[in-house]
Amino acid sequence: MASKPVWEQIGAGFVQHYYQQFDSDRTKLADLYTDASCLTWEGVGFQGHKAIMEKITSLPFQSIQHSITAQDHQPTPDSCVMSMVMGQLKADTDQVMGFQQTFLLKNVDNKWICTNDMFRLALHNFGA
């Protein structure tokens, strides 16, 4: 049986862990970011562990559930792993919404951390 490439295992493992933590207790995401990490959330930028966790923990919903539609992973020339996720989420009693998120993962001190994170709700206008 052919095993998956290592970058795919790393990316898929991160993605599973990230959304599991996000949906159950998002304060635990703190371990994934460092002071060099960047988050862009709906077009607004946050730099560093403290600012990122303040943003994530202050998001205005009580419960959230992500489901992943598709995920892609690639190795980068600098030995990082880039992961792109497409999915749907349901926050509190709001309607289901699509989202997209991209992560760049880097091995620092023998641990994979998230150096770059971009999130957008998928709001398309297919009108004429």
Region 106-125 residues binding a copy of itself, contact defined as CB under 8 A: 106, 115-116, 118, 120, 122-125
Selected binder of a copy of itself within 4, 6, 36, 54 (CB under 8 A): 36
Region 50-79 residues binding a copy of itself, contact defined as CB under 8 A: 69-70, 72, 74-78
3-state class (DSSP) for residue 10: helix
- Name which of 25 and 94 has its Cβ closer to a copy of itself: 94
Q: Which two tokens stand for residue 51?
A: 């600012």
CB of 25 vs a copy of itself, minimal distance in Å: 26
Long-range contacts of residues 62-65, Cβ cutoff 8 Å, at least 24 apart: 62/92, 63/91, 63/92, 64/22, 64/23, 64/89, 64/90, 64/91, 64/92, 65/23, 65/89, 65/90
Between CA 59 and CA 19 the distance in angstroms is: 15
Q: Do 11 and 83 contact (CB within 8 A), yes or no? A: yes
6 near a copy of itself, judged by CB under 8 A: no
- Name which of 55 and 120 has its Cβ closer to a copy of itself: 120
Neighbours of 118 (CB within 10 A): 17
- Name which of 9 and 24 has its Cβ closer to a copy of itself: 9
Sites of contact with a copy of itself (CB under 8 A): 36, 38, 40, 43, 45, 69-70, 72, 74-78, 80, 82, 84, 86, 88, 96, 98, 100, 102, 104, 106, 115-116, 118, 120, 122-126
